Structure 1
Amino acid sequence: MADQTETPSDLLSIKRGIDDRIAIANLSGLEAIQAAFAVDAVSALPAALEALLPQLAPDDVIGTPYNQARCAISTIRGVSDFFEREVSRVQALATAQSQVPAP
């Protein structure tokens, strides 16, 4: 049970510290996933799918082949962008923490 003198703000601060430590511990995995998305076959897939869209009826109703292809395109791009941002964020966090003198 939490110390009764800890405020919600205190606990959120502790949580942020733990979240930062988890993020730094995940860094090598994040970098590996980012690298997997950078492989030519994966990074070229959204453009390749877009080039094929004209072959489908442009029916953007949920569940149609056209809609599913567009969802795949946006998902691949979105996830790839997420990992790029997350790796940058965690690398900056790790660098900042490595420059803080030990207590």
Structure 2
Amino acid sequence: MEDVVIPLPFYLTFGALLFVIGVIGVLTRRNVVIVLMSIELILNAVNLTLISFSHYLDDLRGQVFALFVIAVAASEAAVGLALVIALYRGKHTFNLDDVNLLKW
């Protein structure tokens, strides 16, 4: 069987595309759950870039750093979902425009 090697620019282009989609999702959407999913997409794009460069340079430091990013993303998701549940219990909405917690 022939080994197919995907060149590095394809991985970097795909990572950049995922990053841009995530940034657009964070900036344009008002639903808290969609914003959290967009942040996760940004972190996964960074992980893809780190692992791609790590494989290309034959160095494990990028993969180790990606594991730390995965741990941070998991904790961010847990804290974010806890905040979403607390927000929904208090305001009965997921829309960020309807929530103004600093108003008396």
TM-score after normalising by structure 1? 0.36
Q: Which has the larger radius of gyration?
A: 1
Which protein, 1 or 2, shows the higher relative CO under an 8 Å CA cutoff with sep ≥ 6? 1
